[in-house]
Amino acid sequence: MTCNPGTGSCTIDVNNPGAPGTTPSPSQGSGPGGGSGGSNGGPAPTSPTSEETLVNGNCLYAADPTYVPQPGTDTHSGQKGAWYLETCPDGIKLGGKPGQPVASTTQQMVWLTNPPPAALMQPTPAVLAARARNSLVLPKPVISSNPPVGSPQWVGVPTWAFLPRSVWAPVSASAEVPGMRVLATATPVSVTWDFGDGTSTVCAGPGTPFTPGTDPKASSPDCGHTYRTSSGAAPGGVFQVAATISWRVDWVGAGQAGTLADLTTTATIPVTVQQSQAIVTGTG
């Protein structure tokens, strides 16, 4: 093992893991795929097998093709292998409070001539971000309107469409492995309304609630619709109105950040649209 005091990194290069029944010397080590030893040293297996190739079996490895050693310290140029970030647990130590266990890890860059077993490969931050995204629990839209949901809408009368403010807030989830944690946050950015009559609109927010005292003939200032036909000819005599929230997903962790594919949540309700009939009366 060669350490550079200026960079705080160590290189462990091993091509001879030792023979069965022997204990490799510290200069030989024992690592995944016959590459390198763990960061904590420790006794190597006295009878190595194909599965006993780690000094510390709890270490995880993440390939880092962007790592560049300090000038003059790289002795592996042109050799077969790659740099990996090795993360090993230091074990349980006592913390500031009596009897309180504290787990910590040690990280270092190591050169491995062969890739570690798949089970020991530590996911990259982007992979952890995808896991965090998949664990997000997002609220579905709760459709509100004026005239109120459950009562008929009317042809020619503006319909106000809106969602509760409570659903319009960021939602976060995290994913982690020893030594690395990533946080994914979904933020609502727009609502697409499909009013069931062949028309739709996109609103940048949850919409403005209708308040008592507002002129019923007034249109919503930001998100609404005016029906031009009744729902009488639609299946079941109703229009299926859908609201779909689009969520932007950002992540941060392990000194990196990024954006993942958007998520959506949707709710649908049946809406009856009626048309008032004019009554013509004669005089005289």
Peptide bond into 147 cis (omega under 30): yes
Q: Where in the chain do CATH 2.60.40.10 domains reside?
A: 128-274
Q: Is 185 strand, coil or helix?
A: strand
What is the CATH superfamily name and number for domain 128-274? Immunoglobulins (2.60.40.10)
- 232, burial (CB in 10 Å: exposed 0-12, middle 13-18, buried 19+): exposed
pLDDT at 159: 96
pLDDT at 11: 46
pLDDT at 26: 28
pLDDT at 266: 98
pLDDT tens sequence for the chain (284 residues): 444 544 444 444 433 333 333 322 222 233 454 444 333 333 332 222 222 223 345 788 888 777 888 888 888 888 999 988 888 877 544 444 555 555 567 878 899 998 888 777 878 888 889 999 999 999 999 999 999 999 999 999 999 999 999 999 999 999 998 788 999 999 999 999 999 999 999 999 999 999 999 998 899 999 999 999 999 999 999 999 999 999 999 999 989 999 999 999 999 999 999 997 655 555 54
Measure the CA–CA gap between 105 and 111, rounded to whole angstroms: 19
Measure the CA–CA gap between 194 and 67, rounded to whole angstroms: 50
Model confidence, pTM: 0.62
Q: Is 127 strand, coil or helix?
A: helix
pLDDT at 57: 53
pLDDT at 246: 98
Measure the CA–CA gap between 275 and 16, rounded to whole angstroms: 86
Contacts for 248-252 with beta carbons within 8 Å, 24 or more apart?
Answer: 248/186, 248/187, 248/189, 249/133, 249/136, 249/184, 249/185, 249/186, 249/187, 250/184, 250/185, 250/187, 251/125, 251/129, 251/132, 251/133, 251/182, 251/183, 251/184, 251/185, 252/182, 252/183
pLDDT at 40: 37
Contact 193, 204 (CB under 8 A): no
Residue 25 DSSP code: -
Cα three-residue angle 155-142-133, rounded to 5 degrees: 135
Measure the CA–CA gap between 164 and 77, rounded to whole angstroms: 60
Answer positive or negative: Cα dihedral of 241, 250, 181, 87: positive
Could you tell me how far CA 269 lies from the centroid of its own chain?
29
Residue matched to tokens 């599965």: 51
pLDDT at 75: 86
